[in-house]
């Protein structure tokens, strides 16, 4: 009767050895996958940065090509770059640039309200 028990013990020892071997292989595979995941995250972050930069440049190009302002949730195409305008409550006209217009929301609203011809509602 010693023989079957020894066979059982050997079988258990073999099973344990096989499981330990498989565990080692799985740990190695897990480490490789973790390293690959980290590389993909780094690459993705770099690519997102590159795409954000490209989008920013494209928006600047588009803004120069077709400058727009938004007043009351409506977009207006700005025709031309510079203009002279006498603001409400002032006595002297002033020269404005596109940058001045884009930075001054109250000026935008005032020009839309008077129906400035160089602001065209986009559809």
Question: Is the same domain home to 15 and 74?
Answer: no
pTM to 2 decimal places: 0.50
- 95 and 56, same structural domain? no
What helix, strand, coil percent values describe the chain, rounded to 5? 65, 15, 20
Residue ranges of the alpha helices (H) in the chain? 2-65, 98-103, 105-114
Q: Tally the domains of the chain.
A: 2
15 and 52 both lie in a single domain: yes
My answer on whether 79 and 59 are in the same domain is no
Domain containing 107 equals 66-121
> What's residue 63's pLDDT?
67
Report residue 48 CA to chain centroid gap: 7
Q: Are residues 55 and 75 in the same domain?
A: no
95 CB-side CA count, 13 A: 2
99 close to 78: Cβ distance less than 8 angstroms = no
Please indicate, yes or no, whether residues 44 and 78 belong to a single structural domain of this protein.
Answer: no
Give yes or no: residues 60 and 73 share one domain.
no
Q: What is the pLDDT of residues 66-115, one digit of tens each?
A: 888 999 999 999 998 899 999 988 999 999 999 999 999 999 999 999 99
pLDDT for the residue 8: 66
Model confidence at 4: pLDDT above 80: no
The two beta strands, 94-96 and 83-85, are antiparallel
Burial class (CB in 10 A: 0-12, 13-18, 19+), 55: exposed
Please check whether residues 26 and 4 belong to one and the same domain.
yes
Whether residue 59 sits in one domain with residue 6: yes
């Amino acid at each position: 009767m010693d023989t079957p028990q020894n066979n059982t013990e050997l079988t258990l020892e073999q099973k344990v050895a096989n499981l330990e071997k498989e565990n080692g292989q799985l740990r190695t595979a897990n480490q490789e996958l973790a390293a690959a995941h980290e590389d993909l995250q780094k690459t993705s972050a770099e690519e997102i940065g590159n795409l954000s930069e490209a989008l920013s440049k494209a928006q600047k190009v588009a803004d120069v090509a077709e400058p727009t302002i938004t007043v009351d949730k409506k977009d207006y195409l700005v025709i031309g770059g510079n203009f002279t305008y006498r603001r409400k409550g002032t006595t002297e006209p002033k020269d404005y640039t596109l940058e001045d217009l884009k930075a001054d929301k109250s000026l935008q609203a005032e020009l839309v309200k008077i129906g400035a011809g160089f602001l065209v509602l986009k559809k």
